[in-house]
Chain A
Amino acid sequence: DTEVTQTPKHLVMGMTNKKSLKCEQHMGHRAMYWYKQKAKKPPELMFVYSYEKLSINESVPSRFSPECPNSSLLNLHLHALQPEDSALYLCASSQGYDRVEPDTQYFGPGTRLTVL
């Protein structure tokens, strides 16, 4: 099973709201990722958690705050977003280490975020 789940599927929020995106995997993966994808563009990496520690932050604005409560869960807390933050937010996970095969990322279905 290579399933990554994300909730909610759709989210509409105002610029003063606080909301959270949730991602879950039960594959025993130790690396989890947040990507942002605008229409007709490839995904862009935002954050990586490796063994529950933030290992990569691609200079993302502080209005996006990631959290990894345990090895199966990844949250993205949103506050004071701008309309240009509207996008598809994708979560991915990978085993987190190279063994016989390369570390392969598996993606969730995404959360479609609209900021009004």
Chain B
Amino acid sequence: AQSVTQPDIHITVSEGASLELRCNYSYGATPYLFWYVQSPGQGLQLLLKYFSGDTLVQGIKGFEAEFKRSQSSFNLRKPSVHWSDAAEYFCAVGANQAGTALIFGKGTTLSVSS
């Protein structure tokens, strides 16, 4: 069965420090992988996605993620965190079929300290 695991429920990072959020997936075929961010009371904003090709993908707001098939991982990184990055981050896997559900991880809450 498809599943997504985000091992870290809550992470606190100092402003200006680097960030890595972990995501592991279980999927039979080549997965479509996504990272979304959700600010309090808001909808989900797409940060980046991966489906094939270069395993290092660049997204918006200075985020990047690396797909590692051998580790079934798709970790999100940012070299220097800003206070406005404080939010909930969801990793998701999509089926290789349009119009079907995204399978979300439980999310990681990012807090940024000054």
Residues of A within 8 A of B (CB): 2, 4, 6, 31, 33, 40-43, 45, 48, 50, 55-56, 58, 88, 90, 92, 94-98, 101-110, 112
Residues of B within 8 A of A (CB): 32, 34, 36, 41-46, 49, 51, 90, 94, 96-102, 104-107
Q: How far is the CA of A101 from the CA of B107 in the complex (A)?
A: 25
Min Cβ gap A101→B in Å is 6
A-B contact count (CB 8 A): 76
Given contacts A107-B43, A107-B44, contact A42 B90 (CB under 8 A): yes
Is the pair A31, B32 in contact by a Cβ cutoff of 8 Å?
no
What DSSP secondary structure best describes chain B's contact surface? loop
Q: Which residues of A lie under 8 Å from residue B99 when comparing CB positions?
A: 31, 48, 50, 55-56, 94, 96-97, 103
From B101, which residue of chain A is reached at the shortest CB distance?
A45
From B9, which residue of chain A is reached at the shortest CB distance?
A40
Q: How far is the CA of A103 from the CA of B34 in the complex (A)?
A: 11
Q: Which residues of A lie under 8 Å from residue B107 when comparing CB positions?
A: 40-42
Is the pair B43, A102 in contact by a Cβ cutoff of 8 Å?
no
Q: Which residues of A lie under 8 Å from residue B94 when comparing CB positions?
A: 102-105
Is the pair B104, A102 in contact by a Cβ cutoff of 8 Å?
no
